[in-house]
Amino acid sequence: MTAAPDSVPADTDAPVRRDFIRQIVRDDLASGKHTAIRTRFPPEPNGYLHIGHAKAICLDFGIAQEFDGRCNLRFDDTNPAKEDPEFVTAIQDDVRWLGYEWASLRHASDYFEVYYLAAEKLVEDGHAFVCDLTAEQVREYRGSLTEPGRNSPFRERSVEENLDLFRRMRAGEFPDGARTLRAKIDMASGNINMRDPALYRIKHVPHQNTGDAWPIYPMYDFAHALGDAIEGITHSLCTLEFEDHRPLYDWCVDNVDLAAHPQLLAPLVARGLPIEAGKPRQIEFSRLNINYTVMSKRKLTTLVTEGLVDGWDDPRMYTLQGLRRRGYTPASLRLLVERVGISKQNSVIDFSVLEGALREDLDAHAPRRMAVLDPLKLVITNLPAEHEEALAFPNHPKDESLGVRQVPFASELWIERDDFAEIPPKGWKRLVPGGEARLRGAGIVRIDEVVKDGAGDIVELRASLDPESRPGMEGANRKVKGTIHWVSARHAVAAEVRLYDRLFVVENPDDETGGRTYRDHINPDSKRSVQGWVEPAAAGAGAEQSLQFERLGYFVADRHDHRAERPVFNRSVTLRDTWAAKA
């Protein structure tokens, strides 16, 4: 499998993963059932990928990578009414951003001719028929979980009549919904998916890849199974909701039997498309569920179309594009997937696990910078007004390889307003009138005067700096309770800082008891924007550069809006879990 430029490197020292899917793969290789592993990631291009897809991507591509196999990216574009090239581009971007590259880029539409020939074969073999029931009538005939269905009155049409009608469907003779091609399986099956499911429907909708060539389109289950068989997929990995669809998947693969009927593949051979036809095995695993989120594409789409968020890549969205703009890193999402693991048991992961994975990655790799988001001026009166100097600060306290930077220091500083209390609460360790605190890297200051405006609001603090208390000096060793950060007022760069938080205020936004919906649970404080001040080295960060603003949290330079002359930072995550205390 070809590696992306920033793809996940093979780690020979990494512990061997022992989840049940990887064990199946090992057993299949050991037994000789397969000599090469083939997987695929098969998104539908009808929306942006969300965090749940990250688990599928890491599994599909990760297994191919671990076992020296191949993973295809295949767009299941069988419903053109809901699909858009914008989504195709975003999905490819997401896969590469996570660190993977596909062996081959495919589309279900590449195989439309093969699907059609396969459907004709099923008709000729007596395994499919053209049905004239309406969608409502089909539901009536289907039965229920406790009652068997009834055969369609059109089920016993002759092979000749079915072929004629199906070919006329293909020729565009009939209107949308007039007829369907259905598999002839068992209307009494305990699995409703096997009660003569539809294989093709009439839909006079242009397709982004095939134009007006097709007035009929295959159903997802049919196309997905045969697409896997065409590509020689060995292990078709799906989430648990497809478990009940597996018998239909196997029925399609077995009854078409591409390996035994290579003439069905002739359209692909004529176009020179590589074919590795085989018999795939579908294996299901639990999806990634995280509380305080919604992952329904329909609901995510509604959030965008109703203007409840600022687009698909709004940093509050749980799309991969949104998480990326929020400052989540590929490594943090891969770490999350590794921690959640692969199992057959559905469960809901606490949001703190997601945030914890990001904190762990950023703590190890994000350079440190200073910023002030709610500024209060601090004037050091025992320094000349024109005083300025550069102080050396490590870029990371635990990684000397990241080097040092020069931070300008002058007689007028910005500090955080909440680092001063005129009447301190119990246990207060920061600045108070007449009290001392350590200025990060600069020494110890004492507050001598509090300046207020006509309304009684504090507008300035005046302080004196102990010149013998610089780091490394003897005076720096005396005990002072608090250390605060700062930026030089003269050198700081004004920045827009967007303070993002969880989009929903309840653990299960999908819970509609009491007539409330996920719209009613949107967190009104999920986005606040403030003008802060950052040190020059922070302003010079490149787009998508993650930083820790000391004592404030982890932030990222916005990938679209950030400029050195006009910095824009998004808060990725706080330094500690601020929601645990709310629970």
- Asked about 297 being catalytic, the answer comes back as yes
> What are phi and psi for residue 262, nearest 5 degrees?
-65, -20
358 is in an annotated binding site: no
Strand spans (E) along 326-403: 348-349, 368-369, 371-372, 375-380, 388-394
| CA-derived radius of gyration, the chain | 31
398 is in an annotated binding site: no
416 is in an annotated binding site: no
192 is in an annotated binding site: no
> Do residues 354 and 87 lie in contact, with contact meaning Cβ atoms separated by under 8 Å?
no
249 is in an annotated binding site: no
Distance CA 243, CA 296 (A): 19
Set 96, 297, 462, 551: catalytic member: 297
- Asked about 120 being catalytic, the answer comes back as no
Q: Are strands 371-372 and 527-534 parallel, antiparallel or unpaired?
A: antiparallel
> Do residues 232 and 88 lie in contact, with contact meaning Cβ atoms separated by under 8 Å?
no
50 is in an annotated binding site: yes
296 is in an annotated binding site: yes
Distance CA 85, CA 93 (A): 12
Terminal C-alpha separation, the chain: 45
37 is in an annotated binding site: no
> What are phi and psi for residue 51, nearest 5 degrees?
-60, -30
54 is in an annotated binding site: yes
Tokens of 264: 């069905």
560 is in an annotated binding site: no
Cβ neighbourhood burial of 292 (10 Å; 0-12, 13-18, 19+)? buried
287 is in an annotated binding site: yes
Set 22, 38, 40, 44: catalytic member: 44
Q: Are strands 553-557 and 487-488 parallel, antiparallel or unpaired?
A: unpaired
Question: How many Cβ atoms from other residues are within 10 Å of residue 70's Cβ?
Answer: 23
Distance CA 242, CA 290 (A): 20
Set 155, 287, 440, 490: catalytic member: 287
Distance CA 237, CA 39 (A): 8
63 is in an annotated binding site: no
Distance CA 121, CA 521 (A): 51
44 is in an annotated binding site: yes
Look up residue 532 and give its DSSP letter: E
52 is in an annotated binding site: yes
76 is in an annotated binding site: yes
- Asked about 429 being catalytic, the answer comes back as no
438 is in an annotated binding site: no
46 is in an annotated binding site: yes
Q: Which residues are catalytic?
A: 44, 287, 297
Q: Which residues participate in the annotated binding site for L-glutamine?
A: 76, 220
Q: Which residues participate in the annotated binding site?
A: 44-46, 50-56, 76, 220, 239, 287-288, 295-297
Q: Which residues participate in the annotated binding site for ATP?
A: 44-46, 50-56, 239, 287-288, 295-297
